[in-house]
Structure 1
Amino acid sequence: MIAHDVTGHGPPVLLLHAAVADRRMWDPQVPALAAAGYRVVRCDLHGFGESPMPVGRDDDARDVADLMDFLGCERFALVGASGGGRVALDVAARWPGRVTALALLCTAVAGHKRSVTLREFGDREDALLDAGDLDAATDLNVATWLGPEAGPEARASLRIMQRHAFAVQTAGTPQTAGAAPAAPHGQTTANTAPDKPVSVPCLLVSGAHDVPDFRQIAARLADEMPGARHVELDWAGHLPSMERPDEITRMLIDFLRDPAAG
C-alpha cells in the first residue's frame, strides 16, 4: 500500500502530487478542504515521499484505486498536479464510475510529444543526474517549476521534496537499482492512459509562466473533454498550489462544491 494520510469527514477528495514533489505539497490545502467538509486523502506515489520504488508491477493508477478501495471510498473527486494529473486522468478513464470530478493543475498527459524547451530541460537534468549531482539537479527543478509568485518557503519545501525523490529513485531497490528516476515533468512513465474519453466535470488550470507544453495540454483537453473548462492564471508557474496556496484552495473548494458550474 502506498503511503497516505486522511483528514476530515465528508465526501472524499484525493490529492495527487506533482512529480517534483510528494504529498507534502498539499500541506496548505488539507486543513482548508477538511474544514470545508471533505474527507481529504493524499498519498505518495511510488518513488516519492514515504513510498519506495515499486517492486514488480508499476501502475500508479491501480495503486490509487487500490488505496481508495482500502479506505472504503467507492466514489471520490480527484485533484492532480502535473504528473499527478496524468495519473488522475488514467484513473478517470479506467474507472469512470468512481470519479465524481477532476481538478487538474498544469497537468501532464500520457503520450504528449515534448517541446524543444521540455526536451532541453530533460537533457540538462539527465546530465546532472548522470554526473551524480543531485543537488544541482534539484536546484534546476526548483528554478524551472516554481513561478515568480513562489516565496522562499515554497522554494525550500520543493527543494526538500525533490531532493528526497531523487535519493529514493536513484537508490532504487534490488529489483529496480540503476533505473532512471521518474521524469519530473510527468511525461515518461511505465503507465499509459487507456484510449477512452473522460467525461466528468473537470477544471483545467494552467499558468502563464509555465513551460508552454502544459498550457497547450490544458487547452487541448478542454476541447476534447465534455464538461471541462480551462482557466489560465496570468501569475502562475507550474505549481500554482504552492505559489499562491490560498487562492488555489478557494478555487478548488468552489469547484468541488459545484463541479458543473461554468
Structure 2
Amino acid sequence: MSTSTSPTPTSAIYKTEAGAREMQQRYREMLHAWPVPAEEVRIPTREGETFVLISGPKDAPPVLLLHGSGANTTMWQDDIATWSRHFRTYALDLIGEPGFSASSRPPLSSDAHALWLDEVLDHLGLTRTAIVAASLGGWVALDYATRRPDRVTRLALLCPGGLGRQKVAWLFKAVLLRAWGRRGVRRSVATVAGLEAPEARHLLDHVMLTFTHFKPRTERLPRFSDSALQRLTMPTLVTVGGRDAMFDSADTARRIRRCVPHATVNVLPEAGHALLNQTDSLLTFLRAD
C-alpha cells in the first residue's frame, strides 16, 4: 500500500519514551477489562498502522466510534456492552492520540483524515456506516461526513469541534491553577474536561495520568463552512454541554440548527465538555427508523 507520510516517532506525541511505555502498558491493562468479546485489528494505512477494536454480532449494522483528544477506544468502555447487543461496533484509535494507532498527525486543513478513514473503512469492508464521535473525534467525523456523505448513514456527535467558537479563556485559568501545584493541575484538568462531579473521579485520575505523559494537539480546529455543513443529509444528532470550557456550545447549537435543520440538537445546561451517561440516548438515535 502506498504511503503519503513517513511514520511519526512516538516522541512526537509523548514527553518521554518512558511515559509512552507506561501509557501503552496502562492501555493494554484497560483493554483486558473490555466488558464484551472483542477482536483486535491493526490496519496498514497511508498514515501508518491503525488499531480497531471490534465487538458485536458480525451481521449487525455497523457503528464507527471516534474518541476525543487524549483518549483511545476505552472512552467507550461504559457504552459498549449496550451498543454491541444491537450493532457491530468498530472503536478506532485516532492517529496521533494515546492509543495503539500511529503517531502521525497530518494537517487538519487537508483531506488527509478523510483519505485515512477511506482506507480504514475499505479494509473493514464497510461501504457505509453510522458514526458516533466526541470532541476531536467529532471534528474528524464531521470532516468525513461533509466529504463523504454517501458513506455515513447516521451521525451522532458529542461536543464536536469545528462548529462553535473554540474558547481560549480556559488556558489562562489553567496556567493560574497550575501555580498551586498538583492540586491546581487536578482542578484545571477537571474544569477543562468537565469532570468535576464525584462520579467522574476515576475518569479524572486517568486523564491526569494521560496528560502527565502525552502532548496533545495545540492548534485550533478548522471551522466548517455553512456550505460544508449543508452536505450533512444523513440523520444527525448533536449533544453539547452548556458549560463546555473548550467550545461555545450555544454557537455550535445555533449553527447546526441553521445549516442542518433536520438535525436533533440537545443542550445539557449543566454538563461540561465530557458528556457522561449518554449510552441510552445515543442507542435510541442509532436504532430510530
Q: What secondary structure does 2:82 align onto?
A: helix
Letter in 2 for 1:228: A
- Answering whether residue 65 of structure 2 is matched by residue 65 of structure 1, we say no
Counterpart CA distance in 1 for 2:266 and 2:165 is 22
Q: Measured at CA, do residues 153 and 60 of structure 1 come closer, stay the same or move farther in structure 2, by a change above 3 Å?
A: same
* 2:102 corresponds to: 52
Q: 2:237 aligns with which of 199, 203, 206?
A: 203
Give the aligned partner of residue 20 of structure 1: 70
Give secondary structure in 2 for the equivalent of 1:3.
strand
In structure 1, the residue corresponding to 2:68 is in which secondary structure?
coil
Counterpart of 1:169?
none
- 1:88 corresponds to which residue? 141
Distance 1:25 1:97 in 2: 27
Structure label with greater radius of gyration: 2
| Cα separation, partners in 2 of 1:56 and 1:34, compared to 1, 3 Å | closer
In structure 1, runs of 5+ residues without a counterpart are: 167-180
- Answering whether residue 220 of structure 2 is matched by residue 188 of structure 1, we say yes
- Cα shift at 1:234: 3.1
Change (3 A) 1:6 1:126: farther
Structure with more contact order per residue of length (Cα contacts < 8 Å, sep ≥ 6): 1
Tell me the C-alpha RMSD between the 2 structures.
3.1
Structure 2: stretches of 5+ with no match in the other structure:
1-48
Percent identity among equivalent residues? 28
TM-score with structure 1 length normalisation?
0.75
Cα offsets for 1:176-233 (capped at 9, x unmatched): xxxxx413xxx625x7757532221111101122236134213321221142011112
Q: How many residues align?
A: 229
1:24-80 Cα shifts (integer Å, max 9, x gaps) = 111111121102x10111111122122232176773333223211111111100111
Please state how far the C-alpha of 1:107 moved relative to its aligned partner.
1.1
Alpha carbons 2:257, 2:263 under 8 Å: kept = yes
Does the 8 Å contact 1:86/1:109 carry over to 2?
yes
> Are 1:3 and 2:51 an aligned pair?
yes
Pair 11,136 (structure 1): closer, same or farther in 2 beyond 3 Å? farther
The TM-score with structure 2 as length reference comes to 0.68
2:90 aligned to 41, 51, 54, which one?
A: 41
User: Offset at 1:134?
Assistant: 11
